[in-house]
Amino acid sequence: MEVKTAVTALTALAQESRLRVFRLLVRAGSDGQPAGEIADSLDIPPATLTFHLKELSHAGLIDSTREGRSIRYSIREQGVCELLTYLLQDCCNGQPELCGSKRKK
């Protein structure tokens, strides 16, 4: 992943509503959720939600699939994995597997 791509993804997540949408879709898993359910769950007006979903999609963090008259959104696993790998590639002196083993006391 290039720096510019990582910055785009992090910028998309650096907004409260988009971060809430992202976290909701992470919990929804590969099935995702229709836009209407996302709007209802997070109490975000549909027009505003459309803007946020577009930003997350542009950043490579979510995908959309048309289902009749609605659109279902889900996490783009590859994009999320690439971002996390990029962020942690130099973790723990080049041993990112150690990051999860350190617990705060």
- pLDDT, one tens digit per residue, over 43-101 is 999 999 999 999 999 999 999 999 899 999 999 999 999 998 888 877 777 666 676 65
- pLDDT, one tens digit per residue, over 15-47 is 999 999 999 999 999 899 999 999 999 999 999
The predicted structure's pLDDT at residue 93: 73
Please report, for the domain that includes residue 45, its CATH number.
1.10.10.10
The predicted structure's pLDDT at residue 105: 45
Residue 91: give the domain boundaries.
Answer: 3-101
The predicted structure's pLDDT at residue 36: 94
Angle ∠(84,4,26) on CA atoms, nearest 5: 35
Q: How many domains does the chain have?
A: 1
**Which alpha helices (H) appear in 1-105, and where do they start and end?**
3-13, 16-28, 35-42, 46-58, 77-88, 91-94
The predicted structure's pLDDT at residue 89: 79
The Cβ of residue 56 has, within 10 Å, a number of other Cβ atoms equal to: 25
Report whether pLDDT(104) > 60.
no
